[in-house]
């Protein structure tokens, strides 16, 4: 059931863009905490999928600790951004639209990009919490992850979340109700997860499948995370700090392209009033 949103304070509308985004983000966090089902899904789906997927030893995978830690950390990020990012933001955008909240928010000085950014802040906060807590748990239970290139770790997380967030908003344009989001997101979720490299390792994919997978946003985020953690590319090659920047160029471009495509679709197609 969608949570009814309180009206935002008018005083924030006359402030700066940062102030308005902060006020709206605080409102969104409050609504998320009130909606126990949405909060449970956002917090648990990602980690549960990591536990489920990594409980099965994939054939052909090396069992050394470095690779196990890398796979766990990369999978944690992948499932966090796809569930707390893509799915959660799609349902949130639909719920706010059907409650007329999106229409009310944009009747004053608040810009549409400010509303969308504010809606994404709670999701990003949850993802960061999952990554930090999950990283601590992995370090205690398995071992400390190596960090060949921390820059790519941050890049993979930020661009991966941004790409999945705009795709979530784009999916909301064809989703009439919150309940319907379970259907409209089903196929994208299945394809994104299967080709991400977390459920089916890149090394085991046929060349054609791996080429297709590397053009998807979740796989690109996974590649950047894996390169940042262990310096390992999708073809199995290992790289040092400087070489990882070169190897990470293609997945970075892929993510930027998806952000641009998703942003264009949201700008042109996203309805801000209930769809009847």
pLDDT tens for each residue of 36-57: 776 776 677 667 766 666 665 4
Residue 10 lies inside a defined structural domain of this protein: no
* Count: domains in the chain: 1
Residue 99 lies inside a defined structural domain of this protein: yes
Q: Is the model's pLDDT at 9 over the cut of 60?
A: no
What's residue 257's pLDDT? Answer: 97
Which whole number is the average pLDDT over 120-135? 87
238: three-class secondary structure by DSSP: strand
Residue 4 lies inside a defined structural domain of this protein: no
Residue 220 lies inside a defined structural domain of this protein: yes
Q: What is the DSSP letter of 56?
A: S
Of 170 and 18, the one with more pLDDT: 170
Q: Which residues are registered as beta bridge partners of 238?
A: 232
Residue 6 lies inside a defined structural domain of this protein: no
What's residue 55's pLDDT? Answer: 62
Share of the chain above pLDDT 70, in %: 86
Residue 75 lies inside a defined structural domain of this protein: yes
Q: For tokens 């977390």, what's the residue?
A: 198
CA distance 197 to 210: 9
What's residue 27's pLDDT? Answer: 85
Residue 276 lies inside a defined structural domain of this protein: no
60 pLDDT band, cuts 50/70/90, is very low
pLDDT in tens, 157-205: 999 999 999 999 999 999 999 999 999 999 999 999 999 998 888 888 9
Which whole number is the average pLDDT over 247-258? 97
Residue 1 lies inside a defined structural domain of this protein: no
Q: What are the two backbone dihedrals, phi and then psi, of residue 55, each rounded to the nearest 5 degrees? A: -80, -10
What's residue 16's pLDDT? Answer: 83
**DSSP secondary structure string for all residues of 81-136:** IIIIIIIHHHHHHHHHHHTTHHHHHTTSS--HHHHHHHHHHHHHHHHHHHHHHHHH
Of 67 and 121, the one with more pLDDT: 121
Which whole number is the average pLDDT over 79-88? 90
What's residue 1's pLDDT? Answer: 41
Can you give the residue range of the structural domain that contains 146? 16-269
């Amino acid at each position: 059931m969608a949570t009814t949103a309180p009206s935002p304070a008018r005083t924030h509308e006359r402030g700066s863009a940062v102030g308005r985004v902060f006020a709206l983000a605080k409102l969104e966090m409050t609504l998320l905490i009130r909606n126990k089902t949405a909060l449970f899904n956002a917090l648990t789906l990602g980690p549960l999928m990591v536990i489920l997927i990594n409980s099965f030893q994939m054939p052909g995978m090396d069992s050394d600790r470095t690779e196990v830690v890398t796979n766990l950390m990369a999978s944690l990020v992948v499932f966090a951004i796809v569930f707390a990012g893509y799915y959660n933001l799609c349902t949130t955008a639909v719920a706010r639209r059907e409650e007329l909240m999106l229409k009310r928010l944009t009747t004053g000085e608040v810009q549409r990009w400010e509303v969308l950014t504010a809606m994404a802040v709670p999701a990003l906060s949850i993802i960061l919490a999952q990554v930090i807590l999950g990283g601590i748990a992995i370090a205690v239970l398995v071992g400390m992850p190596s960090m060949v290139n921390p820059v790519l770790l941050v890049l993979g997380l930020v661009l991966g979340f941004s790409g999945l967030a705009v795709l979530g908003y784009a999916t909301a344009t064809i989703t009439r109700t919150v309940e319907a989001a379970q259907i409209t997101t089903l196929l994208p979720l299945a394809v994104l997860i299967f080709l991400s490299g977390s459920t089916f390792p890149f090394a085991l994919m046929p060349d054609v499948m791996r080429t297709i997978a590397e053009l998807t946003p979740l796989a690109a985020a996974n590649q950047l995370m894996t390169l940042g953690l262990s310096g390992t590319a999708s073809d199995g090659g290992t790289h040092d700090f400087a070489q990882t920047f070169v190897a990470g160029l293609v997945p970075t471009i892929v993510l930027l392209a998806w952000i641009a495509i998703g942003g264009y679709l949201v700008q042109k197609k996203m309805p801000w009033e209930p769809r009847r």
